[in-house]
Amino acid sequence: MIKLQNENEVLMVDDSDLDLKIAQRCFAKSKVKNTFVPLMSAASLFAYLDDVKNKKARIPALILLDINMPGIDGHEALLKVRSDESFKELPFIAMFSHSSLESDRDRAMSIGANGYQVKPISSLEYIDFFNSLVS
């Protein structure tokens, strides 16, 4: 399991506003002290990482990336980020819905995800997941 290595921001990229709000509430109740940054699309992630390269933002401690997004999905986003030498070591956890296919998880791992997580169905599970990043 991935452990947070610094106090920089934790980004969550997900096209569902509701999923982001639930995750953000659970993150705030967890033991994690990092700042949670919700992003609604791969394009928002790319813009954030451009800010990192231009020294307008810090490199994130972790990116939680929803794989099933419209437009540029999580696999495509991960490939694009990993193609940039500046972000080869950036930790990613691929996030999947409960209906996720094993082939999707295998693909995410093969193209550079450092781990994967099925999205928790309860607040307690989400808080436990976030706590696992620091304990």
Q: Establish if 112 belongs to a structural domain.
A: yes
In a domain, 83, yes or no: yes
**Is residue 3 included in any domain, yes or no?**
no
- Give the range of the structural domain holding residue 91, as residue numbers without chain letter: 10-132
5: in domain:
no
- Tokens (6 digits) for 9: 């921001």
Q: What is the pTM of this model?
A: 0.94
pLDDT tens readout for residues 7-37:
999 999 999 999 999 999 999 999 999 999 9
Longest alpha-carbon distance in the chain: 38
CATH code of the domain covering residue 63? 3.40.50.2300
- List the end-to-end C-alpha distance of the chain, in Å, as a whole number: 10
Number of domains in the chain: 1
Residues 132 and 1 sit within 8 Å (Cβ to Cβ): yes
> For residue 60, is it within any domain?
yes
User: Measured at the alpha carbon of residue 99, what is the angle toward residues 129 and 2, in degrees to the nearest 5?
Assistant: 25
